[in-house]
Structure 1
Amino acid sequence: MEHVTITPSILYVGTPVALLVTENPDGTANLAPMSSAWALGQVVVLGLGPEGQTAVNLAVRPELTINFPSPDLWPEVERLAPLTGRDPVPSSKPRHRYEPDKFAAAGLTPAPSGRVRPPVVAECPVRFEATAAAVRPDAGGEFVVIEARVLRVHAATDVVVPGTQHVDPARWSPLIYNFRHYFGLGDELGHSFRSETPRVWASAPSKGL
């Protein structure tokens, strides 16, 4: 396998898309897409631009929901991409426009949460209610790193292994952001020795969406 040295402008090698919902100063909900998220136990680490409304909201109102869309929702996600909840629009977002009602603009539906004030996204099969336990600058000083402690997980019944607390990886496929292109998962190749849902538990064959 031959390699070359490159200098890509972004490093999104394939990460799940998340829709973050936070509370604005007037009590309305701000909805924002992002793809810099990873989980460590019951904590989800998020990377955000410091001038976006999401980072501004979390600095003073730490509650949020983290919603994971399925691949078929990529058009709704993309409709959110050029929108910002900041007015005036920050100079760092010259291609964005201000939109106060992002749920309506994207064609998505807010639904009540149980333990936090911001709503969840009704159309997303997997949703977390969380609180920002830490908000700090990243090592380069260009972004904000959020450590969000998950308080409650919502999962659509058709992606849960019946009778368990486990998401069925054969039925759940996240929307993947791969170098600024959208993808779903392909066929399963195997599972980790730590998996609690090996193939004997799966209720359907894995299919890419």
Structure 2
Amino acid sequence: MHKVIDLKVLYFGTPVVLIGSRNEDGSSNLMPMSSAWWLNQSCVLGLGDSSQTAANLRREGECVLNLPSSAQVDAVDALALLTANPHIPEYRQRQGYRHERRKFEAAGLTEVPGELVRAPRAAECPVQLECRVASTTALTGNRCTAFEVTVVRAHVEESLLVPGSDHYVDPVGWDPLIMKFCEFFGDGQRLSPSRLAEGWQMPGRLPAPAAV
């Protein structure tokens, strides 16, 4: 039997993306998000208008979509409640967000330059997609914007390619980090506790690890 309910969160499960971009002073930024979908060579990104990344994409017109594997859950979680925007809305402060510009250092990831765009890549991520912004669309009533970006260059770890092919990722070998309702999953299993779920006070979140 189905029940009609007012769902508060619609994050049914998408791959986590670390968006690399450039701040107004030229420094690097790295933002985790899980509202992205792909079609052919295009990707649509859903970003809150108050985020530094949204401002960077509007100004610079480019980014890198770094796709972490499930093994990199700790690096992603370290970024969950950090923002490069010094002006943090009150509701975000209540959720535990704090200002931090050294995102790569905070996540323990290595910054490497893009080849066709100025935005940074995360060396440890097995998939890195250099992109240029094609269009932006404001989402009515959500304080969010949908950014359509075009992939102009893809960097893929060789071990993830279908043997004998330079064009296809092996779906068996590729184990992306998935976020479902603010919790981390990989290979169908729940992973470590999520700071985002804690900040957003999500019910059913994984408990914090016991103190040693």
Report the TM-score, using the length of structure 2 for normalisation. 0.84
Matched residue, 1:174: 176
**Which consecutive residues of structure 1, in runs of 5 or more, have no partner in the other structure?**
188-209
**Runs of 4+ with >4 A deviation:** none
The answer to whether the 8 Å contact 1:51/1:92 transfers is no
**Structure 1 14/85 Cα, relative in aligned 2: closer, same or farther at 3 Å?**
same
TM superposition shift of 1:41: 1.0
- Give the stretch that moved more between structures: 140-149 or 67-76: 140-149
Deviates more, 1:137-146 or 1:52-61: 137-146
- Cα deviation for residue 91 of structure 1 reads 3.2
Contact 1:16 1:35 in 2 (8 A): yes
Cα distance in 2, alignment partners of residues 28 and 90 from structure 1: 22
Q: Report whether the alignment pairs 1:69 with 2:93.
A: no
Letter paired with 2:36: A
**Alpha-carbon deviations, 1:153-176, whole Å to 9, x = none?**
111011001221100001001101
The C-alpha deviation readout for 1:140-194, integer Å capped at 9, x for no partner, is 342111000100111101100122110000100110101111111349xxxxxxx
**Identity, % of aligned positions:** 44
Deviations 1:124-147 (A, max 9, x none): 111100011112211334211100
Corresponding residue for 2:57?
58
Per-residue CA distance 1:112-134 (angstroms, 9 max, x = gap): 21100011111111110001111
User: 1:146 is paired with a residue of what secondary structure?
Assistant: strand
Q: 2:22 maps to what in 1?
A: 23
User: How many equivalent residue pairs?
Assistant: 186
- Give the structure 2 partner of residue 197 of structure 1: none
User: How well do the aligned residues superpose, as a CA RMSD in angstroms?
Assistant: 1.4
Q: Distance in 2 between matches of 1:128 and 1:139?
A: 28
TM-score by length of 1: 0.85
Q: Which runs of 5+ in 2 are unaligned?
A: 190-212
